[in-house]
Structure 1
Amino acid sequence: MGKVGKIARRTFLIGSAAVLGGVAFGYVMYKRPAKNPLLDGLGEGEAALTPYVLINAEGVTLITPRGDKGQGAYHVQAALIAEELDVDLDKIKVDPGPPDAAYYNTALSAEAVPFAYYDEGVMAETLRDVMDAPMKFLGMQITGGSTTVPDAWEKLRVAGAVARETLKAAAAEVSGINVTALETGEGRVILPDGSALTYEELAPVAAGLKPVNKVRLRAPEEWRYIGKPMKRIDIAAKSTGTQDYGIDVELPDMVHAAVRLNPRRGGALNGFDAQEARGMRGVEAVFEIPGGVAVLADNTWRAFRAAETVECDWGPADYPDEQAEHWQALAESFVSDRQDSRQRDEGDVEAALGDAPIEAEYRAPYLAHAPLEPINATVWVQEGRVDVWTGTQVPRFAQSHVAEICGVKADQVHVHVLMMGGSFGHRLEDDVVIRAAQIAMQAGGRPVKLTYSREEDTRQDFLRPAGMARMKGAVGNGQVRALDLHVAAPSIMASQMGERQGLPMPGPDMTIAQAAWDQAYAIPDYRVTGYRAPRLAPVSSWRSVGASINGFFHEGFLDELIHAAGADPLEERLRMCFHEPTRKALEAVGEMASWSGPRPEEGVGRGVALVTSFGVPCAEIVEVRMTELGLRIERVWVAAEVGRVVDPVNFDGLVKGGVVFGLGHAMLGEITFADGRVEQENYDLFEAMRIDQCPEIEVRGLENGDKVLGIGEPPVPPAAPALANAIFAATGQRLREMPFSKFVDFA
């Protein structure tokens, strides 16, 4: 096909993608650079050379629009800009910037296409490329899906380089020296005689220049930061207790709010009696809001205590009351009219299974996000302006919803995004912002800080969905020959993006069978089918989304088949793996653990799991030991292929945190319902791994692939199956349901 034909096809595809996203724009508008939101309201002497670099007399501020929920997002984004801008990380400031379409996430589209991560064919790569169009047209400024580094990798380095070259152009204009004779370093343009002009001095001149967009990115051998161990830019503040989070917001004349919401999610408030609450110390008002009651008081604790005394008549939920009914709904979803997807169907599965297949049913429970910082938001409604202070992963959604509630235009809502004390997907929801805005509308122009109690936070959480898998398989000649996986779960996307954000939901929900259909195994007869269960409890994304469930299902049952075949768990996975970077992750983890089999000694078991999620092959080996007090997880080895490790220190911490998160929830985590209400309302019942249970963890980041990927979520999915497989090796007991503490004791 000629060049004209290629351009025409691409133009058509991007136009089609835009229409699919609900926006009728075409290729020309897609290619048009985004307007720089920092140019609005610039002060004298300030320069916003790109949407990511702001310079004034006080110094250099780097805009880091992906939210930081503890994963080091601000740090990594700043390092990528600083690498090209030639500024020192300890001398800059960071700011998440305003909500704006210019900060749309370019990497989100990778998970939206029906092609496996290892498929690098023309159609797969083209569709990944053009699916960027609806993300841009819709202005999808979202933090999630382990996309911070993939989104930022080229974009932010280019932003830094553009700012650097524009500042050099300004220095050339001031000094009369040709730009080719100028260098940069430590936030200065260096002249041939060794003298220098600071970026702050040059900002007023640079502000009047057209940005220099033709730039060269530096080669790896020139890097000062990328790939080198760094001290995170937030480490001092977090170590000294001076880091500000949403919960720390304090404003003059601020009033504190708490809510009492229907614990049967979505149910009505039929009536309430707040006589006792209104007479309590510090309470200023009690009034009805959609779905519950709000209390205003002079501090948060008094608002909490008053809310607890309000007697409410709650209506029923629109989902089943009892947990057994939720499981029954899932069990009844394995029917043809609920089939949502069949992305993999190879060979002749029915013939391969024969009359006596190996069969199993696996279950994964609801889970809460339970971040340490309870969700909160502060909203101040003034004449013609609304300000919002909160930690959020979706600032533009929050802005839009607040504008609608307060009856103002979106650009009159100023969202100040703050550091988050954890999220795990919780802050992809903006319900706390919506409720804070509803309350602020009745606060007489005073700023309102709404904080959920731990119990209210858990009761009102949008949970990780419960899921169920029914699987069959066959083995022969010491090998896995057939695998037929059927998984049923409610739709996260229909709940999260459809119902609550009003976005179109064409096609299947890719999260239902995520990390099941797209694994790089060559099994002769291989089928994966996803079933969309009916809407049950409200659900949302939880760290690693569908992969957190399907990694357990797929790798747990695959281990059963490998055992039935009499094969080695690591060697058989290596034999089946056809994707070289994925295979290298398996080889690396085996080398790290000095793998010699699932039972290296009496009373010790080792389990292997390989799960690729968000394009990242992540292999883990877990070692457990039987003790008099129960099973002890002693060691974990992890190898993950990410293409490029930006900061080895941050990478190591993210992987270890993901392993602990995955293991702890596999051991102990469960949310159940009774009378339509969550039964585990606080940490005493929704437990986490204790520090004395934490194993030694060894991490290796691999850089064999040609795509730069994120690591925030991929270590989570392999943890549960690797632990289950290790427990089987040590005890002979096969665990097919989480949490495992229902069936074994942990020391």
Structure 2
Amino acid sequence: MSRAGRIARRGFLIGSVAVAGGVAFGAWRYTRPLPDPFAGTDAGALNPYVLIDADGVTLVAPRADKGQGARWLQAALIAEELDIDPATARIIPGPVSAAYYNRALIADFMPFAPTDTGWLAETARGAADIPARLLSWQMTGGSSSTADGFDKLREAGAVARETLKQAAATRHGLSRADLNTADGAVILPDGTRIPYADLAVEAARLEPVTDIVLRDRSQWRWLGQPMQRADVVAKSTGTQVYGIDLVLPEMLHATVRMAPWGGTVARLDPVAAEGMPGVLRVLPITGGVAVLARDTWSAMRAAAALDVAFTTPDTAGDQDAIWAALEATHDAGAIDTRRRDDGDVDAAIAPGDFAAEYRVPFLAHAPLEPMNATVLVTDDACTIWAGTQVPDFAVARAAALTGLPQTAIRLENQMIGGSFGRRLEIDFIAQAVEIAMAVPGRPVKLTWSREEDFAHDQPRPAQIARVRGRVTADGVQALDLTVASPSVIASWFGRVSSAPPGGDVSITTGAWDQPFAIPHFRVTGLRAPETVPVSSWRSVGASSNGFFFGTALDEMFATAGIDPMEGLLRLCDHAPSRAVLEAVRDLSGWTGRAGGQGRGRGVAFCLSFGVPCAQVVEVEDTPQGIRLTQAFAVADVGIVLDPVNAEAQLSGGMLFGLGHAMNCELTYRGHAPDQTNFHAYEGMRMHQTPAVQVRLLENGPLRGLGEPGVPPAAAALGNAIFAATGQRLRQMPFSRAVRFA
């Protein structure tokens, strides 16, 4: 049997598996059969990813689509080996099932830098399937969807194809080796075409054929080519259906007013709100109050008019106190994580050498689609319609709330109108379940107001970094970076499950793991007390560490009179990363940081989620303010599966990072953010958007691209502003210090 066949059987087929060495991890659990997500149904399942019936082919894409095109790419991976045009298939997210566990996400949790290809690191990554299968997280995050699905989804398509061929061979007394497939049909030696739908019943009765060989890249028809995603037309014409668009018979509507994080309802007088037109009930729920009404507008008007008071949490509720808590964390110096400690930093750095402090603010996720979920609760079942990145966690919470077994909870994952990490939370789903329990038999759609969305987001944490270093004409000799931050991992896990023990490496991700040969190099994470619940924001720790690290290096290069592009290339000791830097140098036509006549260029690099990414930003200092004129980005994703979408992801991530660096922050007063809507939280405007050129390289391992475009952007922009104006920006948003045209 080929290696692909063995992976196919282990990776997704429902059955027992024997794994050498598995005893140490509890082989009896690892090797037990995964549950069949379509058991007891007439779905026509050939495996958990391919369903075929009289109506055609349905492909299961279990990773959530929140605008990044994940649903389409997952379908294309299956379709390539199944030998169908993905546009001809129905694509569904599938049920919540352990069969859809995310292996790549667990592999990225291993305590090794992406550039570490040593025996121990590679062995640990290879064994990641064991804990991944045991945990069975069906999570979408960490830019892992492409890496996780690349092999298993193609294998699913290939197994289904070969099983259909076997069904045709059995029917006609032929050898499977003599048959071919094309465009959704098995082709007999005499040219007779048998549509897959005609073979589905027979194929479903067969033991899946797993002695498969995946097609060579030269044979791909869809992958690697510019693809027209099926959802683009719907999104461009306003016909895409998101969770917020769902309409069910006899549906009621709800919204919420929530206490500040850590607070409770101190006083509630529902009489006035309940007397308003269309309002049915005012319900106390965990941490706040819900209004149930006949329509969303009536619910929101009543919620705004509620006579309610909340208790005050005992955490720091004002921005000055939050900054003070981070400063105190630095002063205390208690180490949470330290994964990089090369040479002797303390001996190498002398008094008077480079020192700087950098700050990043809280940042809201602020997706365009506000939080919403629709739930129907009956005596023996609960159905949830919501867009979520963690469907298994959502089901577990619904079961705990309703007292029903998890098998009685059904979640229909919806297309998501933006997330940036916000849909890793399940607070809005839990609220919808609570409200629906009060009106059993009637579906209830919960919709948050935009103001509630801002007030009760779990933002990217505010952080302070302190950097010391030594630089000579020969380059950076020593660098000591220390970051104080609340723990995203402890905060998020504490809400959805239980916080794990140990340090939080996300505090220093995007800094400790950079491919630079600095002789004396130390990166330390300090855990600050949680003042506001925090969560993963697009590119997580790398979003801030890319700024800290990229700006500090640029400052040190400037101090020593070193061209920053040359300085980065001199330090870089990782071939794929060096190729990325060389490519962005060539793409941008780099001739130095100073452009003359008030123009300047900045360069920054960050390796995040296994993807080396380098960016150059050019700015012009005009009488109206700083204007971004050009931007260039290069990244190495290993294999470009969809050039159109990959370019969009890279340029979109860069612009996302630039816009937030320019203008965005959450500042807290009285335990609530001052920014309550987009009028006070502006990203980049259309007239501020520079022309962006991107290039994609294929030298490293296959990786995803949803997040790696974000981390270098802020540093590249700040470095460009310095080159144009001589003003060094060490705190975001930059609009605090400069004006943008």
Q: Under a length normalisation based on structure 2, what TM-score does the superposition of the two structures give?
A: 0.96
Hey, what does 1:471 align to over in structure 2?
A: 467
Please state whether the residue corresponding to 2:470 is helix, strand or coil.
Answer: strand
Runs of 4+ aligned residues of structure 1 deviating over 6 Å after TM superposition are: 10-13
Contact 2:603 2:614 in 1 (8 A): yes
Q: Partner amino acid for 2:198?
A: E
State whether residues 727 and 733 of structure 1, in contact with CA within 8 Å, keep that contact through their aligned partners in structure 2. yes
In the alignment, what sits opposite 1:700? 695
Is the counterpart of residue 275 in structure 1 residue 271 in structure 2?
yes
Paired residues of 1:392 and 1:427 also in contact (CA < 8 A):
yes
- Contact 1:168–1:189 (CA under 8 A) maintained in structure 2: yes
Task: Answer with 547-556 or 326-335: which moved more.
Answer: 326-335
Which of 215, 219, 230 does residue 218 from structure 1 map onto? 215
CA distance in 2: counterparts of 1:451 and 1:134, whole angstroms? 36
Quote the residue 1:301 is aligned against: 297
- Say if 2:473 and 2:562, in contact at 8 Å, map to a contact too: no
CA distance in 2, matches of 1:106, 1:613: 18
Q: CA deviation at 1:652?
A: 0.9
- Residue of structure 2 equivalent to 1:483: 479
The CA deviation at 1:336 is 5.8
* Structure 1, 588-597 or 315-324: larger mean CA deviation: 315-324
CA drift of 1:275 comes to 2.1
Q: Is contact 2:633–2:694 with CA below 8 Å preserved after alignment?
A: yes
Alignment of 1:483-502 (within 5 A): 483-497=479-493, 499-502=494-497
Q: 2:450 aligns with which of 445, 454, 457?
A: 454
Residues 611 and 717 in structure 1, CA contact (< 8 A), matched pair in contact too? yes
- SS of alignment partner, residue 54 of structure 1: strand
CA-to-aligned-CA distance 1:505-541 (integer Å, 9 cap, x gap): 1321110001110100001111111101112201000
| CA distance in 2: counterparts of 1:488 and 1:14, whole angstroms | 39
Match of 1:42 in 2: 41
Question: In structure 2, how many angstroms separate the alpha carbons of the residues matched to 1:112 and 1:443?
Answer: 42
Q: Which piece of structure 1 moves more, 130-139 or 673-682? A: 130-139
What amino acid is aligned across from residue 496 of structure 1 in structure 2?
Answer: W
Say how many residue pairs are matched. 724
Give 5+ residue unaligned stretches, structure 1: 1-9, 19-25
Partner of 2:707: 713
- 1:669 counterpart residue number: 664
Distance in structure 2 (CA, Å) of the matches to 1:217 and 1:744: 54
Q: Shift of the alpha carbon at 1:162?
A: 0.3
Equivalent in the alignment of 2:84 = 87
Query: What's the counterpart of residue 523 of structure 1?
Result: 518
**3-state SS of 2:338 partner:** strand
- Does the 8 Å contact 1:274/1:309 carry over to 2? no
The aligned counterpart of 2:139 is 142
Q: Deviations over 1:431-480 (max 9, x none)?
A: 00000001111113211100000000111111111111001011123411
Q: Distance in 2 between matches of 1:561 and 1:96?
A: 49
Offset of residue 11 of structure 1: 7.5
Match of 2:422 among 410, 423, 426: 426
Contact 1:611–1:718 (8 Å) recurs in 2: yes
Measured in 2, the distance between the counterparts of 1:254 and 1:589 equals 53
Distance 1:650 1:501 in 2: 31
- Equivalent residues of 2:473, 2:561 under 8 A apart: no
CA contact (8 A) 2:50 2:156 kept: yes
User: What corresponds to 2:596 in structure 1?
Assistant: 601
1: CA distance, partners of 2:328 / 2:545: 19
Q: What whole-Å deviation, never above 9, does each CA across 1:248-287 have from its counterpart, x for those lacking one?
A: 111111100011111x212010111222211111001112
CA contact (8 A) 1:13 1:130 kept: no
Which amino acid counterpart does residue 647 of structure 2 have in structure 1? D
Helix, strand or coil for the counterpart of 2:566? helix
How far apart, CA to CA, are the structure 2 residues paired with 1:734 and 1:311? 48
Instruction: Kindly state the Cα deviation for residue 177 of structure 1 after the two structures are TM-superposed.
Output: 1.9
1:65 aligned residue (59, 62, 74): 62
CA–CA distance in structure 1, aligned partners of residues 110 and 206 of structure 2: 40
> 1:352 corresponds to which residue?
348
Counterpart for residue 538 of structure 1: 533
The 2-side partners of 1:307 and 1:330 are apart by 35
Corresponding position of 2:15: none
* Candidates 341, 361, 367, aligned match of 1:371: 367
Paired letter, 2:194: L
Within 5 Å, give how 1:593-742 maps onto structure 2.
593-705=588-700, 707-742=701-736
Q: Match for 1:723: what amino acid?
A: L
Does residue 405 (structure 1) correspond to residue 401 (structure 2)? The answer is: yes
Would you say 1:361 and 2:360 are equivalent positions?
Answer: no
CA displacement at 1:28 relative to structure 2? 5.0
Amino acid paired to 1:111? D
Partner AA of 1:41 in structure 2: G
Q: 2:202 aligned with 1:196, yes or no?
A: no
Q: Please say if 1:395 is aligned against 2:391.
A: yes
Distance 2:668 2:696 in 1: 40
Q: Pick one of 499, 502, 506 that aligns with 2:501.
A: 506
Q: 1:133 and 1:690 mapped to 2: Cα distance? A: 46
Q: Is the 8 A contact 2:421 2:536 kept in 1?
A: yes
SS at match of 1:718: helix
Q: Indicate the larger mover: 286-295 or 639-648.
A: 286-295
| Structure 2 Cα separation of the partners of residues 507 and 614 of structure 1 | 21
CA-based RMSD of the aligned residues comes to 1.4
| 1:666 Cα deviation after fit | 0.3
What's the CA shift string for 1:552-583, capped at 9, x where partnerless?
00111111011111111001100110000010
Check 1:443–1:225 CA distance in 2 against 1; reply closer, same or farther (3 A cut). Answer: same
TM-score normalised to the size of structure 1? 0.95
2:376/2:440 contact within 8 Å kept: no
CA distance in 1, matches of 2:21, 2:736: 51
**Uncovered stretches (5+) of structure 2, i.e. residues with no partner:** 1-17
1:4-34: CA deviations, max 9, x gaps? xxxxxx9797666x5xxxxxxx235424553
Q: Residue type of the partner of 1:124?
A: A
- Deviation of the 1:504 alpha carbon: 5.0
Look up the SS of the partner of 2:680 in the other structure. Answer: coil
For residues 14 and 718 of structure 1, the distance between their equivalents in structure 2, rounded to whole angstroms, comes to 40
